Amino acid sequence: MIGRFLFAILILSALCFPQPASAQFTDAHNYDNTPVGINQVELSYAYVHANASIDNSLVIAGAKLNLNQGTISYTRYFGLAHRLMWVSAGIPFAGLSGEVTGTAIRGSVGGAGDSSYQLGALLKGGPALSVAQFESYKPTSIVGVSLSITAPTGLYDSNKILNLGADRWSFKPEVALSLPFGPQQKWQVDAYANAYFYSDNTSYHGRQILRQEPLPGFEGHLSYSANDNVWISADTRYSFRGATLVNGVDQGNPQQNFILGSEVNVNINARNSLLFEFAKAVVHQNGPALVGFAVKYDYTWGKGYK
């Protein structure tokens, strides 16, 4: 049964994701309970082929861009008011190259992208437990929240189309519901609702002012734990709105995006794990036509952690 399930997921990936894709999701299991006092460093690599740069909420008409991005991030888990909370920070380093069809515009750029930060908490089903206490914890339904912030710290030149930074802030509040079910709770559903809010870019294409409406989205993740060390998920995300205005003029470009993907998580041992992600936009009205993949390596440590 497990072998057939794994085979089906691999076939689905081959059919839906003929090229590598960088996931545009919040990861499945992102709101699972974790012992307090734990630290995690994550190293990731992503490749994306799309018509948008690192700021994937903005599409460049006719663009064919290739993004290679490495990211390093740090997460700390702690307890507050008997609930699990965490803070994280990350910075990407990327190379972006491509061209705009029908023009002589082509080029490449490399350097640091916009840094990101997150504060999260489990409001239900996530008591703050020590490593020793966590050994007897049984997964249950969880309600979690988080706020992710992207700061305009990346490389940006207002006179260029290809940029690694967005020259604006973004804020993404998110509400999550996770529900394990089935025999031995090997299955889990994760449902997320979130929205991106953007500050203005006051140096867009020179001295123009770019303003963007909020971009809300909904995600669904269905995962199966093949054993204690491997879980696999099928993922989907739908987002809409997010139209832009330049110098107060509505660009008439509200988005409608539907992305499919899958993830495979492998726990090598208690401290080391790998996550493989694939994604492809199957509907991209005024949104990024992307396909790509990402590989993440996590190293975990903390007091009492074996």
Tell me the domain boundaries of the chain. 2-302
Predicted local confidence at residue 240, as pLDDT: 94
> How many angstroms separate the CA atoms of 206 and 101, rounded?
22
Predicted local confidence at residue 56, as pLDDT: 56
Predicted local confidence at residue 182, as pLDDT: 95
> How many angstroms separate the CA atoms of 306 and 61, rounded?
51
> How many angstroms separate the CA atoms of 133 and 251, rounded?
55
Q: Report pTM.
A: 0.89
Q: In CATH terms, is domain 2-302 a member of 2.40.128.130?
A: yes
With a cut of 50, which residues of the chain have pLDDT below it? 1-23
Q: Name the nearest CA neighbour of 5 among 230, 266, 281.
A: 230
Predicted local confidence at residue 213, as pLDDT: 96
Predicted local confidence at residue 40, as pLDDT: 98
Predicted local confidence at residue 61, as pLDDT: 73
Please identify which residue in the block is written with the tokens 């009205």: 285
> How many angstroms separate the CA atoms of 147 and 86, rounded?
11
Cβ-contact 168, 199 below 8 angstroms: yes
